[in-house]
Amino acid sequence: MAISIDHHDIMQALKEFKLEVTDYYLEFTEHCVHMYWVACPSDIQEYLAKGDWTCLDFQVKGTWIPAEEMFAKPFTERPFTNCRYILETN
């Protein structure tokens, strides 16, 4: 089944993560649409402080870890961390 998103979905995610229109790229797979970007440690701490970690993952040492698991493991990626957010699933 095809997945679709619209401009408002993208703009809402950009606003939520305080990203510029040149800061991200999208990946369309068979099952979902991911938004990817790179964040600095202070951004990661801000994302985690919000408490809404649904659909947000961080790449630590080459492995994608759901945001809700970040408190269970020490976060040591520096100076930047790859982030991904699920915009839509089918």
Strand partners, 39: 81
Domain that holds residue 28: 7-89
Mean pLDDT of 46-54: 81
Query: Residue 85 in contact with residue 35, Cβ under 8 Å?
Result: yes
Q: How far apart are CA 14 and CA 21, in angstroms?
A: 7
Q: Is residue 12 part of a domain?
A: yes
Residue 2 domain-assigned (yes or no):
no
The two three-digit tokens of residue 49, written as one number: 């402080």
Q: How confident is the model at residue 74 (pLDDT cuts 50, 70, 90)?
A: low
CA dist., res. 10 & res. 49, Å (int): 22
Per-residue pLDDT tens over the stretch 2-37: 888 899 999 999 999 999 999 999 999 989 999 999
| 1 within some domain | no
| Structural domain includes residue 52 | yes
pTM: 0.87
